[in-house]
Amino acid sequence: MKIIEDLKQLNMTFLNGSGVALGNFDGLHKGHISLLRRHLEACHKKGLAAGVFTFSNHPAHVLLKGRPFSLIMSNDEKIALLGASGLDFLILQAFDEAFREISANDFIMNILVHTLNAKHITVGQNFRFGKQGLGTVEMLEKAGAAHGFSVTVVPLYEAKSKVVSSTAIRKLVQIGDMSGAQTMLGRPYTVTGVVKLGKQLGSKIGFPTLNILPESWRLLPKFGVYMTKTTIGDHTYKSITNVGINPTVGDPSPRIETHLLDFSGDLYGQIITVSFLGKIRSEKKFESVQALQTQIAIDVKKARDYFALIQNCTGK
């Protein structure tokens, strides 16, 4: 998959035309995957190079003028998943004040028609684009009839009778409903980071942890303790994970602390991915480190019971 970060330096030619899916694609949830499948099918039938036009930064970071806005995944994570989908190219356009001022018509003519020679466009039914979001699906369809490109409009995707969206997933993660988030994502919600040296309190009380300091933009589950699986290289381990500020010892900023149930060793500097499966309890301040130690032992037992039940039911 060719990654294009600057349309002015585009060195791909689309003599036979291109097919372009448009959207933010934060999280690459089930709705996005359904849209991409429809897009790839259409492009293959028409013999077009299949690509996605999205942004290197979420438009909300500009439109909300600095107000906090959390993302479900990083660009690297998005690129990895999109690359595995079979796309030919990915455009990561910077959404800045200049791009914000591009009218819907100019976006169609200057980017889709003249730059990308688009012959097919795929969008979700609620897609909006251009300055002030004035561009609509109907506008795309009329432009397509005039300039020779077809448009596939993909209906909103539902999972368990609920519309799947990045906004809905954010809300589920923020309240700690990891099962609900997984239903919409089609996979567990994950956080990836580099293991940092912590206070080593976990090791002192018999439950060593791998500590991640998440990026400020990263969407975090509601503070608490979760059943998780942690992937390190080619290996995945059963684990429990605390998300929060650890009020018993007073950490200054949110962190992710993961205890692997059946592992011992030094992993500082390693990249790990924590997959959140379900919540055990909310974050709590304990009267003493000993009380915290007792509670962690209870948490570990609950996690082991959970994993044993899953293994009995699925054989995995």
HEC assignment per residue over the chain: CEEECCHHHCCCCCCCCEEEEECCCCCCCHHHHHHHHHHHHHHHHHCCEEEEEEECCCCHHHHCCCCCCCECCCHHHHHHHHHCCCCCEEEEECCCHHHHCCCHHHHHHHHHHHHCCEEEEEEECCCCECHHHCECHHHHHHHHHHHCCEEEEECCCEECCEECCHHHHHHHHHCCCHHHHHHHHCCCEEEEEECECCCCHHHHCCCCCEEECCCCCECCCCCEEEEEEEEECCEEEEEEEEEECCCCCCCCCCEEEEEECCCCCCCCCCEEEEEEEEEEEECCCCCCHHHHHHHHHHHHHHHHHHHHHHHHHHCC
The CATH number of residue 222's host domain is: 2.40.30.30
Spans in the chain with pLDDT lower than 50:
none
- Is 227 within the bounds of a domain? yes
How many domains does the structure of the chain reveal? Answer: 2
pLDDT digits (tens, 9 = 90+) for 243-257: 998 766 666 678 999
pLDDT computed for residue 251 by the predictor: 65
Shared domain for 269 and 228, answered yes or no, is yes
pLDDT digits (tens, 9 = 90+) for 118-138: 999 999 999 999 999 999 999
pLDDT computed for residue 203 by the predictor: 67
Domain that holds residue 201: 189-314
Of the candidates 156, 176, 209, which is a domain's last residue? 156
pLDDT computed for residue 316 by the predictor: 67
